[in-house]
Amino acid sequence: MKKRGIGLATGLYPTAMATGGDPGQAIIEVQPDGSVLLLIGTSELGQGSSTVLAQLAAEVLGVDYENIRVVNNDTDICPVSWGSLASRVTYMDGKAVVAAAEEARSILFEVVAEMMEAKPKDLEAIDGKIQVKDSPSLFKTMAEAANFATFEMRKLIVGRGVYMRDRVQPDPETGAMDSIATLAWTAILAEVEVDTETGEVSVLKITCAYDTGTVINPMLSEGQIEGGTAMGIGAALMEELYPVYPSTDLKPDNLGDYVIPTAVDVPEIESVFYECICTHGPFGAKGFGEMTANVPPAAILNAIHDAVGIRITELPASPEKILRALEEKGRS
Amino acid sequence: MTGRVIGKRVRRYDGMAHTTGESKFVDDVIVPGTLTIKVLRSPVHKGTIKNIDTSAAEASPGVASVITAADVPFNAWGVIPDQPVLAAESVRFKGEPIAAVAATDEDAALEGISRIRLDIDEEEPVFDPLEAMKPDAPKVRPEGNLFIFDGRPYRKVVFGDIEEGFRSADLIVESEYFHPAQEHAQIEPMVSLAVPDSSGRLTVYTVGQAPYWNLGMLSNILKMDPRDVRYEQWAGQTRNNWPINSSSGRIKMVGGTVGGAFGGKTDMHADHIPTVMALKIGRPCKWRWTREEDLKYSTYRGPWIIHFRDGVKKDGRIVAREIKAIREAGAYSSLNPYVTDKYCFLATGCYFIPNVRVRGYCVFTNKPPASSMRGFGITPSSVTTELQMDKIAETIGIDPWEIRFINAYRKGDQTPGRRVINSVALIEVMQALAEKAGVKLSDRLKAMTSSDRRK
């Protein structure tokens, strides 16, 4: 018989390293054609965080996002970053990028002030131009400004940005420690179907809400949610590196024996964002990449309980464990 | 909020290159004349190396060089540097690197490996963390099987008055949960290419998530600057201490752009051996792990056993929580102490509990080292806390939504690690979920906010 159930789980995630002391640094150079080079010391291996950093730089400099070129994986060229981990890049490196872009923008304002005999404080950067706030018809394009800086004023337009939290250690007696830069939040509903004959569980639908502060790029955030949900389904139902615990003999050595979720295992995922603006985040953003994998497993296991009344306390909820638990429940 | 670019669904700047296959994996970097590295891994789970004879391997056709621990200038690495690049005497897990061969191609390297004569005394290993915690268990490490946190064999986090909390509770809900070991299963397995140049500099192409970490660790391993004593200070560290502040201008790290990591590439799996080899013989060296090696010997999410004892009021409030958590680390520290800490600081999940006592153990076994994976210690916290919440709700007969609203963190609450938190939105996020999913909440729950004062 196939039985359906719904399960709820919630979670939080602290942005950045618990120990603090994890620097994010950025250098922004506006080149003579007005295009922008963004140097970041972390490697991005596919998650999209460098695109988010480029968006932050574009917003501050008032240029199209396409005008930003990211260079992010060379320690000869890029300043120090702690790395792409701990859901830290958007927040920590993001704050450095915003600071670097602001410094570059202030240099641009000085240049344009000289070109137009205006005051830097009366200028704004918007639509690829530096313009007078109250008289937008008075402007210089980024290309004009950068070219003038380079070839007339002998000026290099480079902005530098740094952000780092204090390094902290826990109090040995209480464990007290300021381990959190900011917190992101989630709540997830899983709908499952349990086959009581085979013990197999299908996840039918995942609905989730996230607060990640300002969502810099909804498409990339949804990408994190979908990837993380798939990883959470694997943890809930399939993955175990030492299946015959504690023997190590049957540790899988290929991805046929160690089964991870594929497209057929991942259901429809609906997500909604509640933006609790982080007052100290870059444009109000928090980090959240990791938490998307953390909370789905409990929602799925709680849904299994709702469907068939068994509590699985050892992940993954394999068909064998489901059948054993159903058998035990039938006996009692 | 939205701006001109903020909040917009702009395409990834590297998306087209990823889609068309133009983006390079680290293994796609080709340098002419590169030698292939293969590694002799320990055939036993635990043992003592008596002798390594590499002479036949060195004479093997196509073999350029063989290195052992004796060739590594400073043979320890890690956030807490307790892991040898190549095992010198003690072997602590099956698959631990002992010697490396650089040869003209993979077949010649494997042939060279097969000619190394290893004399090793096998010793009794321990695989179960609960067994490893017993006083008479075989020792994974001479100093013992428990990581020492500030002089104690566990991380201690205490908040409020746990005894008073249990006294004020109407009932106790006790449970034990197991979170298994999980593999990152990222697309690109571990690979590294070290290219020396005529100036004595090295370029290292790494899959690492944090090239600057690996740069610091490589600088220490190679003792590149003889005046630099930081590696000695690093060697004495027993707390989390990333060697990022030590780096050498003689190494340039180049990171990847695709391939995934999920926490599996925070540890320096593949960079050290080709770097040592390339510096020794002056030729480019690449070490590429097979998927089999990656699954068997790279890091993974270490398993957790978590015991809850919760004091609960009939109205749904959790007033006391005592936790004993056991994190299995495998054979070396890696990021396991950090992961354990991160768990302990937020062991109550996303709920305010006024009286808390946490003991978090980090236990060594003769398995490959576990380490970080997407979520660090928050993953076991989220998973087990949320299973426990539903069990408590059922025990006292209230709705799973309601118990979460009642105990949700509010603005100004303190975590078990005594951090006052302000950017709090759990209640609002649950309300948003209910609306999205068409779940009808009671008027009381709909009216709650994270700014409400706690009664």
Within a domain: residue B429? no
CA separation for the pair B398, B145 (Å, rounded): 42
Binary contact (B400, A8; C-beta < 8 A): yes
- Chain B positions touching A316 (Cβ under 8 A) are 180
Residues B289 and B309 in one domain: no
Q: Among B297, B323, B348, identify where a domain stops.
A: B297
How close B187 comes to chain A (CA, Å)? 10
How close B177 comes to chain A (CA, Å)? 5
Residues B79 and B91 in one domain: yes
Within a domain: residue B442? no
Within a domain: residue B446? no
The pair of structure tokens assigned to A214 is 């300002």
Q: Which of A59, A240, A290, A320 is catalytic?
A: A290
The pair of structure tokens assigned to B39 is 């590694």
pLDDT in the model for residue B107: 98
**A143-153 pLDDT tens trace:** 999 999 999 99
pLDDT mean across residues, chain A: 96
- Chain B positions touching A84 (Cβ under 8 A) are 209-210, 261
User: Closest residue of A to B375, CA-based?
Assistant: A290
Within a domain: residue B364? yes
- Chain B positions touching A96 (Cβ under 8 A) are none
pLDDT band of residue B242 (cuts 50, 70, 90) is low
Q: Among B297, B324, B346, identify where a domain stops.
A: B297
**A71-120 pLDDT tens trace:** 998 999 999 999 999 999 999 999 999 999 999 999 999 999 999 999 99
**A299-326 pLDDT tens trace:** 999 999 999 999 999 999 999 999 999 9
Binary contact (A208, B13; C-beta < 8 A): no
Asked if A2 contacts A193 with a C-beta cutoff of 8 angstroms, the reply is yes
pLDDT in the model for residue B231: 56
Binary contact (B252, A56; C-beta < 8 A): no
How close A198 comes to chain B (CA, Å)? 22
Q: Among B297, B329, B354, identify where a domain stops.
A: B297
Question: Mean pLDDT across the stretch B302-325?
Answer: 98
Binary contact (A73, B6; C-beta < 8 A): no
Within a domain: residue B33? yes
pLDDT band of residue A332 (cuts 50, 70, 90) is confident
How close B10 comes to chain A (CA, Å)? 7
The pair of structure tokens assigned to A297 is 């497993």
Residues B243 and B279 in one domain: yes
CATH fold of A24-163: Aldehyde Oxidoreductase; domain 4 (3.30.365)
Q: Quickly count: other Cβ atoms within 10 Å of residue A67's Cβ.
A: 19
pLDDT band of residue B245 (cuts 50, 70, 90) is low
Residue B455 scores a pLDDT above 70: no
pLDDT mean across residues, chain B: 94
**B346-361 pLDDT tens trace:** 999 999 999 999 999 9
Residues B139 and B288 in one domain: no
Q: What CATH number does the domain containing B164 carry?
A: 3.30.365.10
Closest CB from A45, A253, A315 relative to B295: A253
User: Comparing C-alpha atoms, which of A173, A247, A134, A216 is closest to residue B12?
Assistant: A216
Location of each CATH 3.30.365.10 domain in chain A: 2-14+181-331, 24-163
Q: What CATH number does the domain containing B90 carry?
A: 3.90.1170.50
User: Comparing C-alpha atoms, which of A110, A80, A108, A77 is closest to residue A92?
Assistant: A80
Residue B236 scores a pLDDT above 90: no
**Around B417, how many Cα atoms within 13 Å sit in the side-chain half-sphere?**
23
Number of separate domains in chain B: 2
- Chain A positions touching B255 (Cβ under 8 A) are 42-43, 45, 72-74
Residues B79 and B202 in one domain: yes
Within a domain: residue B75? yes
Binary contact (B159, A59; C-beta < 8 A): no
Pairing of strands B318-330, B171-179: unpaired
Binary contact (B338, A19; C-beta < 8 A): yes
Within a domain: residue B73? yes
pTM: 0.97
Listed in sequence order, the residues at least 6 apart from A161 whose beta carbon sits closer than 8 Å to its beta carbon are A25, A26, A27, A28, A95, A96, A97, A98, A99, A100, A101, A102, A103
> What is the three-class DSSP state of B252?
strand
User: Closest residue of A to B160, CA-based?
Assistant: A174
**A56-77 pLDDT tens trace:** 999 999 999 999 999 998 999 9
pLDDT band of residue B220 (cuts 50, 70, 90) is confident
Question: Mean pLDDT across the stretch B384-396?
Answer: 98
User: Closest residue of B to A222, CA-based?
Assistant: B9
Pairing of strands A135-141, A129-132: antiparallel
pLDDT band of residue A250 (cuts 50, 70, 90) is confident
Residue B241 scores a pLDDT above 70: no
The pair of structure tokens assigned to A26 is 């950025």
A66 is catalytic: no
Residues B219 and B113 in one domain: yes
Cα-based angle A88, A89, A92 (whole degrees, multiple of 5): 70
Residues B96 and B198 in one domain: yes
Asked if A141 contacts A34 with a C-beta cutoff of 8 angstroms, the reply is yes
pLDDT band of residue A125 (cuts 50, 70, 90) is very high
pLDDT in the model for residue B453: 80
Residues B291 and B191 in one domain: yes
pLDDT in the model for residue B19: 94
Question: Mean pLDDT across the stretch A133-137?
Answer: 94
- Chain B positions touching A245 (Cβ under 8 A) are 128
How close A236 comes to chain B (CA, Å)? 9
Binary contact (B382, A298; C-beta < 8 A): yes
Place of tokens 């992010």: A72
**A29-48 pLDDT tens trace:** 999 999 999 999 888 999 99
CA separation for the pair B260, B302 (Å, rounded): 19
pLDDT in the model for residue B246: 63
Binary contact (A10, B386; C-beta < 8 A): yes
The pair of structure tokens assigned to B141 is 């490490």
State the SS3 of chain A.
Answer: CEEEEEEEEEEEEECCCCCCCCCEEEEEEECCCCCEEEEECCCCCCCCHHHHHHHHHHHHHCCCHHHEEEECCECCCCCCECCCCCCCHHHHHHHHHHHHHHHHHHHHHHHHHHHHCCCHHHEEEECCEEEECCEEEEEEEHHHHHHHHHHCCCCCCEEEEEECCCCCCCCCCCCCCCCCCCEEEEEEEEEEEEECCCCCEEEEEEEEEEECECCCCHHHHHHHHHHHHHHHHHHHHCCCCCCCCCCCCCCCCCCCCCCCCCHHHCCEEEEEECCCCCCCCHHHECCCCCHHHHCHHHHHHHHHHHHHCCCCCECCCCHHHHHHHHHHHHHC
Query: A268 φ, ψ to 5°?
Result: -60, 135
- Chain A positions touching B180 (Cβ under 8 A) are 235, 239-242, 314-316
Burial class of residue B104 (count of CB atoms within 10 Å of its CB; 0-12, 13-18, 19+): middle
**Around B232, how many Cα atoms within 13 Å sit in the side-chain half-sphere?**
5
Residues B228 and B350 in one domain: no
- Chain A positions touching B150 (Cβ under 8 A) are 170, 172
Within a domain: residue B416? no
CA separation for the pair A211, A116 (Å, rounded): 44
Residues B62 and B209 in one domain: yes
> What kind and span of H or E run contains B173?
strand B171-179
CA separation for the pair B96, B108 (Å, rounded): 21
Q: What is the ipTM of this complex?
A: 0.97
Domain A2-14+181-331 is found in CATH 3.30.360.10: no
> What is the residue range of B261's domain?
25-123+185-297
Residue B235 scores a pLDDT above 60: no
Asked if B251 contacts B213 with a C-beta cutoff of 8 angstroms, the reply is no
Binary contact (B374, A290; C-beta < 8 A): yes
Residues B200 and B171 in one domain: no
Residues B145 and B236 in one domain: no
Number of CB pairs, chain A paired with chain B, less than 8 A apart? 374
> In one letter, which amino acid is A78?
C
